[in-house]
Amino acid sequence: GAVVSQHPSRVICKSGTSVKIECRSLDFQATTMFWYRQFPKKSLMLMATSNEGSKATYEQGVEKDKFLINHASLTLSTLTVTSAHPEDSSFYICSARVRVAENIQYFGAGTRLSVL
Amino acid sequence: GNSVTQMEGPVTLSEEAFLTINCTYTATGYPSLFWYVQYPGEGLQLLLKATKADDKGSNKGFEATYRKETTSFHLEKGSVQVSDSAVYFCALSGPYMEYGNKLVFGAGTILRVKS
């Protein structure tokens, strides 16, 4: 099946610093990638939809300037958490869709962000 | 808006026991329904899906039937194995014109199978 690689798997940073998370589709081209946030014992919440070559579409309540998303190529999307604070600590997961008609998303293994 | 409710876990079963994880949904129109599984340290994987009423999705011994009348998509397996221990997520998508291909997830149910 389609493989999505997410890096790093875990990151610890100081408050006020920025952290970049990469999401790569390894064996397919993904015109659309999705970024989710998962809180402990809670569901995945969609943060934004990232389309290659255009600006990301953010869900209501998600700060665009806090969570910068770039989808520069058909195989790479990045999420940058800017000026991270402890409340940004969470599990971030990306996914990629192969074809619109198929409507199946392939997920990365997630990134555990801890902000001290 | 669209939402998914699934039974809270953890669910703990002995090997070869019967598994049911309940999932109900709220949505307009006719959404597509999914079960995803997340094994420890891995990303979510699609387990099965159904795109219209009365469809049955099946994979690896798991089954779920799209019940429009009860707005449910319960996951079942006749005989679980230790290797089935994971977190199971019920999800829905659609209708496309209103929601695109966005997935809405349930909270996830932890399954623990003991030998």
What pLDDT is recorded for position A97? Answer: 85
Of A43 and A17, the one with more pLDDT: A17
What pLDDT is recorded for position A40? Answer: 76
Of the listed ranges A6-10, A37-41, A46-50, B48-52, the one predicted with least confidence? A37-41
> Which of helix, strand or coil describes residue A87?
helix
Contacts of A108 in chain B (CB under 8 A): 43
> Which of helix, strand or coil describes residue A36?
strand
Contacts of B106 in chain A (CB under 8 A): 43
Tens of pLDDT, residues B88-114: 999 998 766 666 678 899 999 999 999
How far apart (Å, rounded) are the C-alpha atoms in residues A63 and A101? 30
pLDDT band at A2 (very low <50, low <70, confident <90, very high): confident
Give, rounded to a whole angstrom, the gap between the first and last alpha carbons of chain B: 41
Residue in B with minimal Cα distance to A102: B101
Instruction: Find the CB nearest A109 among B41, B93, B94.
Output: B41
A60 CB within 8 Å of a chain B CB: no
Tens of pLDDT, residues B3-59: 999 988 899 999 999 999 999 999 888 899 999 999 987 888 999 999 999 999 999
What pLDDT is recorded for position A7? Answer: 96
Pairing of strands B75-77, B62-65: antiparallel
A34 CB within 8 Å of a chain B CB: yes
> Residues B62, B35: contact at Cβ < 8 Å?
yes
Size of interface A-B (CB pairs under 8 A): 50
Six token digits for residue B11: 């669910």
Tokens 């149910």 sit at which residue? B109
Residue in B with minimal Cα distance to A6: B43
A103 CB within 8 Å of a chain B CB: yes
Secondary structure of chain B as H, E, C letters: CCEEEECCCCEEEECCCCEEECEEEECCCCCEEEEEEECCCCCEEEEEEECCCCCEEEECCEEEECECCCCECCEEECCCCHHHCEEEEEEEECCHHHHCCCEEECCCEEEEEEC
Instruction: Find the CB nearest B101 among A97, A106, A110.
Output: A97
